[in-house]
A and B are shown apart, each in its own frame.
Chain A
Amino acid sequence: MHKKLTILFAFFFCTKAYFQNFDYQSLVLDEHLTEKANSCIRKSSTLITIEAQDKVIEQHTQVITVFNKYGNKDVDAFLHYDKNVIVKKLEAIVYDKLGKEIKKIKKSDFRDVSAVDGGTLYSDSRVYYMDYTPLDYPYTVEFTYETKNSNTAFIKPWFPIQNYYQSVASSKFEIIDNSDSKIRHHKSNFDFTEGVSIEESEGRIICTANNLHAIKYEDYSPTRSVYVPQVWFALTKFTLEGVDGQASNWQEMGKWQYEELISGRDKVSGETKREILLLTSGVDDPIEKAKIVYKYVQDNTRYISVQVGIGGWQPILAEDVDKVKYGDCKGLTNYTKALLKIAGVDSNYTIVSAGPEKDDLNKDFASMQGNHVILQIPMDNENIWLECTNQDVPFGFIGTGTDDRNVLVVNQTGGKIERTLVYEPEDNYQKIESKITILENGAIQGIAHVTSLGTQFGQKFSFEKQSDKDAIKRYKSYYSHLKSLNIEKFDFDRDDNEIKFEENFRFTADNYCSKFGNRFILVPNVLNQVLSIPDKYKNRMTPFVVSRGFFDEDEIEFAFPETFNIESTPKPINIESKYGRYSSSFEVNTDGKLLYKRSMLLNDGEYTKEEYADFRAFLISVNKADQSKVVLNNKT
């Protein structure tokens, strides 16, 4: 009898453990949430409590339903942590489409690995992630954690929209200050969509979002974080890796960083000091001195990323870089700064958010921002910016990784937001001068001289380092519209003072002119068919951006066999719009040669989604104009 009872109890227990939660069923959902969505945030709730300057508690629960295999990656059931973080609770529960619990993942069942990204040699940050293979769709994951963090320099921001193709049923974020650390916050893009709101009061902020449609990536979209609603937080009194700080504006933030993290780390060995003094002796111009030091750093060091503890924010000692000859961006920048100081040149440590898309530090909101460090040499007219992690880039060329954006320049007087070098469309210049001969079988052979400046220099300056094999391969893929392209000869000339790159090459391409009976069709734009037409959208949802403009001028002179006549040439084309300017013209010389001239200016700019169709139409007309054809006639 006893035995039977136990079994019965066990049975009861089992059924109870696998309960059904009808809130988590995913068969019946509002169409607004399923349309163009691979997953849906059913509920996200975060409570952040500041207990003290060095103690922040985060309690988080999210419930995400995944509709298909493309949504799996957006379950986001992972938690980053490091030695400052105590993970008090960590759990995930998986529900099937009916809302029936099918799996429970306890803290010990989470995978726990180092969170080292591709470019980093070593970092002490770690991540817990859930290892779960879905059996059926849709399914729902409830993910819960609670952490205590003694680093308070970074407070998690609120981004109700987390992923593309993911709708949001409800998202709530609450932050409470129980200390006197003083929360500051900064909200933006609340007009992107309806259903997002914020309640602000002293020491307590509540953000909510409800019923947000899924968004998707669209061509020319800026990074998601540029346009989606978001709120950033920071404490005026904070702690970073055990170091206390206080700052409510950029001036104070810069001063704290300079004093606590940067200053006094610039000693190098006597030997290096002597070497720098020797190399720069007799040179008076500070720019010339800086060039010598910059070259010394490029020749002697390399970039290796190691991020451990405070080392994630503080440069390693210049002395250590001197010893091992490697360092990360902070270490190499600080080292360069130290050597410049020896040479008598002042420079400033500068924090930036690097990446091909221009990403500003928020000038109205001081907090720990940025992911990279460069060096500024202050000048009366235009400041010089140095990228210290690249061994090949010319002095003063920062390219598209850190150009035209707000950065934090720090020194003993504090921090200041400044703007890095701007490359205007006309600065990003390319000129192609070419002479091409058309052969009787429709093949072409020619020579070309290409000059590149600005960001177009940036795309090419490393070509010099390539092997011949790779260089030819690159030409073939760049000019993939030329069939059976053969590059017979090429040479490069790189001028680091002018920041100018010149290429000369000799080429042939078979069957370039298509033949129809005794007629040939020639597309005169032989060497600059590179602009593609972006995708069309029925209802574009996001604004768009042309991050950088450019200006191209092409001049090609065509020669033909004597028996050839020009049957028709296109009319001159001029296209003007706020997005840019295009013109092309054809002219027959007295000696029977055809001269083709083309120029194209693309403006940079930020535009609304309504303007996209117009922008696309501009690119289509440019593309069409680039396909203009000349008809040739063989008399014999």
Chain B
Amino acid sequence: MKKILWFTYVVFTFGHLNAQEFKLGDVSSIELEEKYSSVDSSANAAYLLNKGKLSVYYNSVYGWGYEIEVLARIKIYNKEGYDSGTVEIPLYIGGGNNNKEEISKLKAITYNLDGKKIIKSKVNKKNISYSQTKYGWENAVFTFPNLREGSVLEYMYTIRSPYFTVLPEWKFQQTIPTKESIYEFNFPKIFGYNERFKGYQKIKKDVKDIPNYNVGSYLYGNGMRFIYKATNVPEIAKESFVNNYDNYISSVQHELAVAKITNDGKLADLLTSWDKVAKELDESKNFGKQLRNTRYFKKNLDTLATDHLSEMEKIEVIFNLIKEKVTWNKRIGISCSDVLDIVYEEGTGNVADMNIMLTSMLNYIGLDADPVILSTINNGFPPSIPSTHFYNYIVSSVTLEDGSEIFLDVSDPNAAPNVLPTRCLNFMGIKFLKNLRTKKVDLFPNYISKENNFMNLEVDENGIIIGKVRRQFTKQTAYIFRQKYRDLDKEQYLEKLENTFNISIHEYDCKNLNTPNKPILETISFTSNDKQDVINNKIFLSPLLFFTTTTNPFKEEVEDRQLPLNFTFPKSTKYAITIEYPEGFEVDYIPNKINDLILDKRFSYNSEIKAVNDKKLQIMVNQNINTSILEVDYYAEVKDFFDTIVKNEAEKIVLTKK
């Protein structure tokens, strides 16, 4: 697990990295003459330098805040790199007048070589525009003048921000290669910051004390300086089976962990450990207080006789009760929107409202339930720093009498007991126990989600196939099915199905679409529009018909893939097919049996075709991916594995007229 996830290699350099100066104009003719990037010779543009200096300080207008100075130098190698000549700097302005981020000292210059002479063209102030494209955000936007193949671009700016608790992420890695990236972080010692690294690049780090750290209006004594440096960083590569690229961009980010505010001599500890986080959440009125609040449902539950029920039945009862009373308002988060009495009364709530409600009700009827916070796939990896900041979702976890643990999300109408929405299957969550301790829990499913297909086909001598298929989707595959099709008009869905499988549907039935704790059962009777080849009195039959895997999902050329392979959940796919062929034909050829296993059974594929009698064939195919995530070391093997599947499924059965 560790190998898969955390990766950044930090080297301490003890005094080799120095404090940074910020001024434009340090462009040499060597840089202007450079024809290829030394990081990646195929690059269209590259950062020669990207550096930032962030200092935390005190301001008389809005109190504590930070200032970040940024300077970037970009080389354009050819016209395809001109996109890097336009720069957008986002500023958060949604916090009201005194809490706006402000940009200043924005300067930008294009450098070109005219013979031996360096020609400078400045970006005119009036050509810098500010637009609010997203609510709460403003972008400073400008483009460099006189762009040519070979130009070097430089810009710098300073942003002042009041948001000093969670500092911006410094990205060493960009969409173009970076020759050198330096980030300096200065802060007074009255604060302690957690440090969060991401990505696979080697980062050098240096730590220094700063005596007499100047924080602005007041002098707060000693400070600290961290300097980070990365060199020759390649661009971010796009690869398949990665569910969130942001997880892998090489970066560092800091979050405030301890603070000793001294203006009245008091010491205040912010969050330092999960135990402290747990204590704080327990006292919070939007979490712990609501978790202990039983008054709004007491009467309802006291009249329910649940004692004779099994644990799972009890869960079912509470699940249905909440679903009946409260509708999810599609919002996610980790704190309750209001006191739960009101949520219960009004009948709508967010994820936290509903799952905290679920947890306390389950505890009330005697089960052992605890809340679990997690970070959804789109939100990125949950870091190991003890802080709720990076988390955005709550579910409930129940420990059953046999010691096993199941997860529940009552908010999403397509989720079922132990089948969380797919977006929640992101490594690990933090469980808050009743004794105010915390525990890390693995969110990857410990069950296998199945897709089973049972199909009976009849082929006639013209190669026309009629058939009936029964499809079964369980757990995650059923969740995804419901998510996609539950709201879709039936006719629209059938048209889509007919066109995807190239069939005409005679009869269709779908069971349990609105009962998420049961598998989806779909039955389709059809005629295939994909006529099988008949050549020289031979029928060439495609054994899996429309279920044939025709392309390898890993088709891109990646020489040295770095990112792990994320399959999100363990899955098995099964095809059991019988084919009845016409009188007067016999089997001429059937593809060979395949029995392929790799990676200690974490991946397997079996395929076998055999004759049942003189007019019937049976085809069995099983494909299992028994893991959610796989180390990148297995990339080549997995790619070959899929090649085998594609090759095997392309083979045909040959029937000959006797």
CB-based contact A568/B141 at 8 Å = no
A52: Cβ under 8 A from any B Cβ: no
B556: Cβ under 8 A from any A Cβ: yes
Stretch in contact with the other chain, from A11-19, A85-93, A256-264, A321-329: A321-329
A3: Cβ under 8 A from any B Cβ: no
A162: Cβ under 8 A from any B Cβ: no
A36-B491, A325-B145 known; A567+B82 contact, CB < 8 A: no
Out of A36, A131, A136, A472, which one reaches B489, CB within 8 Å? A36
A511: Cβ under 8 A from any B Cβ: yes
Nearest CB to that of A568 among chain B residues? B536
B595: Cβ under 8 A from any A Cβ: no
Report the number of A-B residue pairs with Cβ-Cβ less than 8 Å.
Answer: 121
Q: How many residues of B contact A (CB 8 A)?
A: 55
Q: How far is the CA of A481 from the CA of B552 in the complex (A)?
A: 11
Q: How many residues of A contact B (CB 8 A)?
A: 61
Name the distance in Å between B141's Cβ and chain A's nearest Cβ: 6
Name the distance in Å between A128's Cβ and chain B's nearest Cβ: 11
Nearest CB to that of A518 among chain B residues? B589
A505-534 interface with B by 8 A CB criterion:
510-511, 514-517, 519, 521, 533
Q: How far is the CA of A514 from the CA of B646 in the complex (A)?
A: 12
Q: How far is the CA of A536 from the CA of B527 in the complex (A)?
A: 14
Q: In the complex, which residues of chain A have a beta carbon less than 8 angstroms from the beta carbon of B146?
A: 324-325
B143: Cβ under 8 A from any A Cβ: yes
Q: In the complex, which residues of chain B have a beta carbon less than 8 angstroms from the beta carbon of A480?
A: 551, 555
CB-based contact A135/B329 at 8 Å = yes
A465: Cβ under 8 A from any B Cβ: yes
CB-based contact A483/B643 at 8 Å = yes
Nearest CB to that of A129 among chain B residues? B135
Stretch in contact with the other chain, from A113-121, A242-250, A446-454: A113-121
Nearest CB to that of B533 among chain A residues? A629
Q: How far is the CA of A461 from the CA of B555 in the complex (A)?
A: 24
CB-based contact A121/B487 at 8 Å = no
CB-based contact A113/B330 at 8 Å = no
B630: Cβ under 8 A from any A Cβ: no
CB-based contact B650/A511 at 8 Å = yes
Out of B80, B131, B487, B650, which one reaches A116, CB within 8 Å? B131
Nearest CB to that of B652 among chain A residues? A514
CB-based contact B499/A536 at 8 Å = yes
B557: Cβ under 8 A from any A Cβ: yes
Q: How far is the CA of A473 from the CA of B557 in the complex (A)?
A: 7
Q: In the complex, which residues of chain A have a beta carbon less than 8 angstroms from the beta carbon of B589?
A: 516-517, 519
Q: Would you give the 0/1 interface string for B524-552, flagging 1 where the beta carbon is closer than 8 Å to chain A?
A: 00000001010110001000000000110
Q: How far is the CA of A325 from the CA of B85 in the complex (A)?
A: 12
Q: In the complex, which residues of chain A have a beta carbon less than 8 angstroms from the beta carbon of B540?
A: 521, 629
CB-based contact B86/A304 at 8 Å = yes
A22: Cβ under 8 A from any B Cβ: no
B133: Cβ under 8 A from any A Cβ: yes
B492: Cβ under 8 A from any A Cβ: yes
CB-based contact B42/A326 at 8 Å = no
A70: Cβ under 8 A from any B Cβ: yes
Q: How far is the CA of A229 from the CA of B85 in the complex (A)?
A: 44
B94-134 interface with A by 8 A CB criterion:
121, 127, 129, 131-134
CB-based contact A483/B80 at 8 Å = no
Nearest CB to that of A465 among chain B residues? B80
Out of A116, A302, A477, which one reaches B147, CB within 8 Å? A302
A537: Cβ under 8 A from any B Cβ: yes
A304-B86, A535-B495 known; A133+B487 contact, CB < 8 A: no
CB-based contact B79/A392 at 8 Å = yes
CB-based contact B135/A484 at 8 Å = no
A324-B146, A325-B145, A521-B540 known; A135+B327 contact, CB < 8 A: yes
Q: In the complex, which residues of chain A have a beta carbon less than 8 angstroms from the beta carbon of B651?
A: 514-515
CB-based contact A36/B492 at 8 Å = yes
Q: Would you give the 0/1 interface string for A67-89, flagging 1 where the beta carbon is closer than 8 Å to chain B?
A: 01110000000000000000000
B195: Cβ under 8 A from any A Cβ: no
CB-based contact B495/A537 at 8 Å = yes
Nearest CB to that of A304 among chain B residues? B143
Q: In the complex, which residues of chain A have a beta carbon less than 8 angstroms from the beta carbon of B434?
A: none
Name the distance in Å between A518's Cβ and chain B's nearest Cβ: 10
Out of A113, A306, A517, which one reaches B135, CB within 8 Å? A113
Q: In the complex, which residues of chain B have a beta carbon less than 8 angstroms from the beta carbon of A38?
A: 489
Nearest CB to that of A324 among chain B residues? B145
CB-based contact A121/B329 at 8 Å = no
CB-based contact B557/A469 at 8 Å = yes
Nearest CB to that of A302 among chain B residues? B82
Q: How far is the CA of A631 from the CA of B656 in the complex (A)?
A: 14
Out of A113, A135, A137, A304, which one reaches B133, CB within 8 Å? A113
A179: Cβ under 8 A from any B Cβ: no
Nearest CB to that of B146 among chain A residues? A325
CB-based contact B535/A629 at 8 Å = yes
CB-based contact A323/B492 at 8 Å = no
Nearest CB to that of B142 among chain A residues? A121
CB-based contact A516/B487 at 8 Å = no
Nearest CB to that of B540 among chain A residues? A521
B488: Cβ under 8 A from any A Cβ: yes
Q: In the complex, which residues of chain A have a beta carbon less than 8 angstroms from the beta carbon of B498?
A: 536
CB-based contact A517/B588 at 8 Å = yes
Nearest CB to that of B138 among chain A residues? A114
CB-based contact A326/B147 at 8 Å = yes
Q: In the complex, which residues of chain A have a beta carbon less than 8 angstroms from the beta carbon of B135?
A: 111, 113, 131
Q: In the complex, which residues of chain B have a beta carbon less than 8 angstroms from the beta carbon of A467?
A: 42
A113-B134, A480-B551, A516-B652 known; A473+B556 contact, CB < 8 A: yes
Q: In the complex, which residues of chain B have a beta carbon less than 8 angstroms from the beta carbon of A538?
A: 495
A372: Cβ under 8 A from any B Cβ: no
A190-249 interface with B by 8 A CB criterion:
216
Name the distance in Å between B652's Cβ and chain A's nearest Cβ: 6
B511: Cβ under 8 A from any A Cβ: no
B654: Cβ under 8 A from any A Cβ: yes
Q: In the complex, which residues of chain B have a beta carbon less than 8 angstroms from the beta carbon of A476?
A: 555-557
Out of B487, B495, B550, which one reaches A70, CB within 8 Å? B487
Q: How far is the CA of A87 from the CA of B134 in the complex (A)?
A: 21
Q: Which of the listed residues B82, B489, B555, B556 has the most CB atoms from chain A within 10 Å of its own CB?
A: B489
B593: Cβ under 8 A from any A Cβ: no
Q: How far is the CA of A628 from the CA of B230 in the complex (A)?
A: 57
Q: In the complex, which residues of chain A have a beta carbon less than 8 angstroms from the beta carbon of B129?
A: 121-122, 306
Known: A68-B489, A476-B557, A568-B535. 7 other contacts (CB 8 A): A70-B487, A113-B132, A113-B135, A325-B148, A472-B557, A480-B555, A514-B650
Top 8 nearest A-B pairs by Cβ distance? A324-B145, A114-B131, A516-B589, A122-B129, A467-B42, A535-B499, A68-B487, A111-B135
Q: Which residues of A contact B (CB under 8 A)?
A: 36, 38, 68-70, 111-114, 116, 121-123, 131, 133-137, 216, 300, 302, 304, 306, 323-326, 391-392, 465, 467-469, 472-473, 476-477, 480-481, 483-484, 510-511, 514-517, 519, 521, 533, 535-538, 567-568, 624, 627, 629, 631
Q: Which residues of B contact A (CB under 8 A)?
A: 42, 78-80, 82, 85-86, 121, 127, 129, 131-135, 141-143, 145-148, 327, 329-331, 348, 487-489, 491-492, 495, 498-499, 502, 531, 533, 535-536, 540, 550-551, 555-557, 588-589, 643, 646-647, 650-652, 654
Q: What are 9 pairs between A and B in contact, CB < 8 Å?
A: A116-B133, A123-B131, A136-B327, A137-B487, A300-B148, A302-B85, A326-B147, A468-B42, A533-B502
